[in-house]
Chains A and B, each alone.
Chain A
Amino acid sequence: MSTGPGGEAGFPAVTAAAAGSDIRRRRRPLGERVFRVASPYLLLAPAALVIGAVLGYPVYLLTKLSFQQYGLAELVTKKGTWIGVDNYTRIFQDEQFWAVVVRTIVFTAVCVGLTMVFGTLIALLLARLGRFMRLLLTSGLVLVWATPVVVAVNIFRWMVDYEFGVLNWTLTKLHIGDFLNKDWFADPTTGFAVITALIVWGAIPFVAITVYAGLSQVPAELVEAAEIDGARRWQVFKDITFPLLLPIFVILTSLSIIWDFQVFTQVWLLRDGEPEEDYWLMSVYSFVEAFRLGEYGFGAAIAVVMVCFMFVATFVYLRQMIRIGDTR
């Protein structure tokens, strides 16, 4: 109450006059009162400034660039040429682009699906483990979670090495087939299998730990009552656990979509910084156009389309977030 301007203004004058100390309080110098109203804004100013400069302005610039011819020459003169929607018409007539879009959507769907399924299964497993095993598995998950992306990329690159990699040796020993000297990246399908494994492996811990935290909030009586009524384990999950944890599943799926739709580093590094066209995802395509071919405007248009796809895919989550902002 003492801090907000509303609190003091709303205080009835009579009551205030009754208490001596309050009279003194009401007659604060004008400067101090102004300071009180202004102080939250002053406190927020640096953060707002930074977010505006490093996120707000680039979002505007990205949109603007997508309507411009902006190449290396324009980078020097610092001024793009307005060409309307030409970049977008070029995109939509580009067969390459649609192949990339389809590839990105399929890739994201597979990654997010596998991450959510395995993450949830591991969370359910965690809930049923003994104390010691639970601690062990949680530590293992945290270890994986903490592994930096660039480090993980190098580990996987070493494990699938065609000559001395542990994967080819293991698969051959298990008689799954002859994998000796198999180059996983020769074929984009197996190449993407490796990239998917890398991403899902890295993303599982966050999902598993978060869902497990949610599971421990589910009232035990509910589950017990259902079990007494003869519900099977799957039914308990489907009819009790899942609906209760739905908000968590929505946010985890949305975050996973956001992260997987813009995957860049893993593809880029596993293909030594020169990914073949069969390996292009949307962010790779945009990056190649901008930084390899110097077509910044065209690259920006691709990025804009990518962001639009992501917003559509995470619409539910966005709505939920705006509601949170409203109520608090």
Chain B
Amino acid sequence: MSRRRLNRIGINLLGLFVFAGMVFPVYWMVSSAFKEGRNILTDTPQFFPSPATLSNFDDAIHRNFFWDTVRNSLIIVTAVVTFALVVGFLAALALAKFRFYGRAAFIVLILGVQMVPLNALIIPLYIQLSRAGLTNQLSGVIITYMTFVLPFTVWTLRGFMLGIPRELEEAAMVDGSTRFGAFVRILLPLVAPGLVATSIFAFIVTWNEFLIAYVFLNDPQKQTATVWLAGFTTSRGTDWGPLMASATLIALPVLVFFLLIHRKIAFGLTAGAVRG
């Protein structure tokens, strides 16, 4: 009995140890962000920010292009989420509610698209956009991002729609509802959680993306917040306090949203295997 208890304590201690190891880099970012400059550049690292200061955050948000790039990111995110939801919803509807020739092929296509190595396509995408005169334009980036979040959107929404019993829709129609009425009153509310999950997923992917924005948008004023953050050190040496404060600010929205939906992301990415 006592040996078993000892064993259990050991396991939980190991869990705590792994937790500390995994979380430490994130903790180090946040704690550095709150440190005073002289406490950052010390021979013996200061493990807890004391005194804590907000001056690094103040510095970060007053840097050149911070607000410009945040605004660009928000514009891109909003557009991508809206388009991906509308287009993805329609496609999911077709895949979940209709039997038709070519359906299996489209499902393979949707699953296969997730495997396309984005980094390998950066060259043709760049040439395509430069031919169309869309480099240095947010719209080029928006279209590209939208395509990359579309498979996940379609697949997740399709899953939600398959879960809705047909009888429910038919019952609504028997009660005198039109097809469109049944859609708005029955289907839409039931798919709503899926819509929320997929829009947050699209938000995260779009907010975090680096390579496409880095190549397509040359003008510092046109860039996204992520690219702005990447260019932080190269422009002014190593200014660790403000850099960690900026990193914290840019990670914050993603951290919040991620906590809300991480289960669905794991499901969406591996959907192909789990049921196969």
Contact = CB atoms under 8 A, between A and B. Distances in A.
A269 interface: yes
B76 to A, nearest CB: 15
Contacts of A206: 266, 269
Given A130-B12, A150-B208, A251-B270, A262 B147 contact: no
Nearest to B83: A50
B45 A166 contact: yes
B18 A44 contact: no
- Name which of A53, A78, A143, A296 has the most chain B CB atoms within 10 A of its CB: A143
A155 B111 CA distance: 33
The range of chain A's interface size is 35 or more
B128 A134 contact: no
A155 B15 contact: no
B14 interface: yes
Given A136-B15, A149-B208, A151-B229, A322 B243 contact: no
Contacts of A53: 143, 147
Contact of B154 (A47, A261, A290, A291): A47
Contacts of B170: 2
A211 to B, nearest CB: 10
Nearest to B105: A325
B72 to A, nearest CB: 15
Contacts of B270: 210, 248, 251-252, 255
A190 B76 CA distance: 38
Nearest to A197: B25
Contact of B128 (A5, A58, A321): A58
Interface of B: 8, 11-12, 14-16, 18-19, 22-23, 25-26, 28-29, 32, 40-45, 86-88, 90-91, 93-95, 97-100, 103-109, 111-113, 115-128, 130-131, 143-144, 146-147, 150, 154, 170, 204, 207-208, 210-211, 215, 226-227, 229-230, 232-234, 238, 240, 243-244, 247, 250-251, 254-255, 258-259, 262, 266, 269-270, 272-276
